[in-house]
């Protein structure tokens, strides 16, 4: 089931590591009562502000794509994930 989420309603969720919030813009979940939590998530589009160096939550089994829209970029120091850097100007 696809749903576009109003941020005012229930579109804000804490990070897995508890160090910040993410604003969920749209997501698709499996149908039925088992759709709660990450186990029922098919895909999600969200945005967040990363204002300091913080631990990156491990979401093993999910492909994650990070897009920097403002600022100087992100650097990931992860021993549990494969990371690729794309250096292209978006605008």
Average pLDDT over residues 3-18: 72
Give the pLDDT score at 86: 59
Q: What pTM was estimated for this model as a whole?
A: 0.64
- Whether residue 14 is contained in a domain is answered as yes
Where do we find the tokens 């978006």?
A: 90
Structural domain contains residue 20:
yes
- Each residue of 32-87: pLDDT tens digit? 776 777 778 888 888 888 888 777 777 777 788 888 888 777 777 766 666 666 56
- Number of domains observed in the structure of the chain: 1
- The pLDDT of residue 58 is 75
Contact present, 14 and 21 (Cβ < 8 Å) = yes
Is the pLDDT confidence value at 4 over 80? no
Residue 23 lies in a domain: yes
At 58, give phi and psi (nearest 5°): -85, 115
Between CA 37 and CA 70 the distance in angstroms is 29
Which residues sit opposite 45 in a β-bridge? 26
The answer to whether position 6 is within a domain reads yes
Calculate the CA 60 to chain-centre distance: 13
């Amino acid at each position: 089931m696809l749903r576009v989420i109003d941020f005012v309603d229930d579109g804000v969720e804490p990070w897995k590591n508890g160090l910040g919030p993410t604003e969920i813009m749209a997501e698709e979940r499996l149908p039925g009562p088992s759709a709660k939590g990450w186990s029922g998530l098919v895909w999600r589009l969200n945005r967040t502000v990363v204002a300091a160096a913080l631990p990156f939550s491990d979401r093993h089994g999910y492909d994650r794509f990070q897009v920097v829209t403002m600022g100087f970029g992100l650097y990931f120091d992860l021993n549990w994930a494969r990371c690729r850097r794309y250096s292209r100007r978006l605008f």
